[in-house]
Amino acid sequence: MILFGSITQLLQDQWGGSHLWRQMVLSWLTILRESVSLQELLAVQVAKLSPAQAFEAVDGLRRRSLVERGQRPGSFTLHSVVLEFVTGRLIEEASQEIVQGRLSL
pLDDT digit string (tens) for the chain, length 105 residues:
455 567 777 777 777 766 788 888 998 999 999 999 999 999 987 668 889 998 999 998 998 888 999 989 999 999 888 999 999 999 998 999 999 888 776
Contacts 24+ apart (CB under 8 A), 89-93: 89/15, 90/27, 90/30, 90/31
Overall pTM surpassing 0.85 (yes/no): no
Strand pairing of 67-69 and 36-37?
unpaired
Q: Look at the chain and count its residues.
A: 105
Q: Report the distance separating Cα 73 and Cα 37, nearest Å.
A: 8
Domains, the chain, in order of start with CATH, read: 5-100 (1.10.10.10)
Residue 42 in contact with residue 54, Cβ under 8 Å? yes
Question: In the prediction, which pLDDT does 46 show?
Answer: 63
